[in-house]
Amino acid sequence: MTNLPRSNIATALGQPVGRAWEAYFDALERKANGEDIVLLSIGDPSFTTPTQVTDALVGALRNGRTHYGPPSGEMPLRKCIASMESRNTNHTISPENVSVTLRATGGLFSAISCIANPGENIIVPEPTYTSYVLTLGSANIDMVQVPQDGPEFSVDPDSLLAAVDNRTRAILINTPCNPTGHVVPAHVLEYLARECLKRDLWIISDEVYSLLYFDVPHMSLLRSTDCYDNIVVIDSLSKSHAMCGWRVGWTITPEHLAQDMSRHMCGINFGVSQFIQDAAEQALRSSDRDTLAMRREYRRRRDLIVERINGLDGLSCRAPEAGIFVMIHSDMHGDDLAQRLLNECAVSVFPGSAFGESCRDYVRLSLTPAKEDIERACDRIEHWWRSDAPIAVDSLPLEAARA
């Protein structure tokens, strides 16, 4: 073993990937080795990207759209996003406020790198999207999690503001929320934006599930306030248009922050590929019927899981307002339940502890696999839960798997 240097950041990033991720990585390896594992652990849609989007990508490639572009994104796409956001918010958004980023997470990383210094902190409500700790940690920025104790983990703005100290630079919210599906009400967003501005703090709103709502329409932070001086909004096409593998997102920020982010992105990835951006523009200009169809199907999958799980004594879940996940509560530690579901009925779920200590008695199920796979997983979970015995997956009746 050599004594070559290793940064503190690299060491710290190894910590979150503990027991919470072990079951998932184990499931991937076992599935690759031929086991019949049903993966309900991550949010990768079963839907294919709409045809008109892939056609646009092929056309862009044939037209030679394979060169460097501006770090902040191609102007036609930025204009398209600005126009869309202006219509949705009844406010004027300029293309100069738009930065096209490599994933929504890439936008978050650039934004926080330009608004906070190493050792300063950003406050987030708990439950917290798992990647935030990695993204903030990569910038050597501390993440302060504030548990939310209200119904369905609803956001209490005063609890977030009470956590502010002299090292705080921003409050980061995720609405609709991964993992809970909670939609933060407009009056809470407006209150947070106003109070953050009084304290010279940024407010960052991650809105990647904005189009995947069921019961409560999503309200963007951009529409909840008239002052954009301290606002960062993050979005992407990954979930709304079944484009997870395309790796394209964007941010809406004040122009001066967009300029800072452009310089930052020069040193990170120098922009998103031209042909990807052309296809993204097509996705945004196309009819929303594909997104509406996905939303209807996610609702059916949500209702299926909620009905099946709530029919089992000792397990419970609420129907999420939005998003692509369902949180299941039990008296068992979520790490243990996730491991047993994998080992004893070949179903991979995500332990709730990954989202914070307040979720230790939960596991998260994804709505993104095909409905047949979700039914198969529910059959296995029900059989196992009622019998409390390991399932011989190969012997599970086909009619049960297809019920």
**d(C-alpha 209, C-alpha 238), whole Å:** 9
Looking at the domain assignment, is residue 165 inside a domain? yes
DSSP 63: T
C-alpha distances (whole Å) from 316 to each of 10, 236, 331, 341, 353 are 38, 31, 10, 16, 17
Q: Which of 338, 335, 362 is nearest to 348 (CA)?
A: 338
Q: Is residue 69 part of a domain?
A: yes
**Mean pLDDT on 254-279:** 95
Same domain, 254 and 240: yes
pLDDT tens-place string over residues 34-45 = 999 999 998 989
Q: Are residues 174 and 102 in the same domain?
A: yes
Statement to judge: residues 262 and 349 lie in one domain: no
Chain-centre distance of CA 102, in angstroms? Answer: 14
- Unique residue bearing structure tokens 């509560």: 329
Residues 202 and 162 in one domain: yes
Q: Give percent of the chain with pLDDT exceeding 90.
A: 80
Does residue 1 sit within a domain? no
> Which of 285, 318, 345 is at the close of a domain?
285
365 shares a domain with 296:
yes
Range of the domain at 338: 8-48+289-402
Domain total of the chain: 2
Mean pLDDT of 280-298: 93
Model confidence at 389, pLDDT cuts 50, 70, 90, reads low
157/277 same-domain check: yes
Asked if 185 and 223 sit in the same domain, the reply is yes
Could you tell me if residue 353 is inside a domain? yes
| CB half-sphere exposure, 305, CA atoms < 13 A | 30
For 303-328, what is each residue's pLDDT tens digit? 999 999 999 999 999 999 999 999 99
Q: Are residues 147 and 95 in the same domain?
A: yes
Using DSSP's 3-state secondary structure scheme, residue 78 falls into helix
Query: Of 385, 376, 389, 375, whose CA–CA distance to 331 is shortest?
Result: 385
Sheet holding 350-351, edge to edge: 316-317, 325-329, 362-366, 350-351
Query: What pLDDT score was predicted for residue 402?
Result: 32
Note the helical H segments in 90-164: 103-115, 131-138, 157-162
Read off the CATH number of the domain in which 27 is found: 3.90.1150.10
- In DSSP terms, which residues pair with 142 in a beta bridge? 121
Do 125 and 216 lie in a common domain?
yes
Q: Is the dihedral of CA 354, 357, 361, 366 positive or negative?
A: negative
Give the Cβ contact number of residue 303 at 10 Å. Answer: 12
In a domain? residue 2: no
Q: What is the mean pLDDT of residues 360-383?
A: 96
Gap between the Cα atoms of 27 and 207, Å rounded: 29
> Are residues 119 and 212 part of one domain?
yes
The stretch 14-27 carries a mean pLDDT of 70
Q: What percent of the chain has pLDDT over 70?
A: 94
Locus of tokens 């991550």: 42
Contacts of 93 (CB under 8 A, 6+ apart): 81, 82, 83, 85, 86, 222, 252
**Mean pLDDT of the 131-138 span:** 92
Identify the helix (H) or strand (E) that includes residue 187.
helix 186-198
Which of 285, 318, 350 represents a domain boundary (last residue)?
Answer: 285
Q: Is pLDDT above 80 for 395?
A: no
Does 171 fall in a domain? yes
Residue 3 lies in a domain: no
Q: What is the pLDDT of residues 99-122, one digit of tens each?
A: 999 999 999 999 999 999 999 999
Question: CA-CA distance, 281 to 301, in Å (whole number)?
Answer: 29
Same domain, 181 and 269: yes
Do 85 and 60 share a structural domain? Answer: yes
23, pLDDT greater than 90: no
Tell me the chain's radius of gyration from C-alpha atoms: 21
30 inside domain: yes
- Angular region, 259: left φ>0, alpha ψ -120 to 50, beta rest: alpha
Final residue before a domain boundary, out of 285, 304, 333? 285
pLDDT at position 391, please? Answer: 53
CATH number for position 84: 3.40.640.10
Please tell me the predicted confidence (pLDDT) of residue 388. 66
Say what the pLDDT of residue 18 is: 57
In the block, residue with structure tokens 């394209």: 248
Residue 11 CB burial class (10 angstroms; 0-12, 13-18, ≥19) = exposed
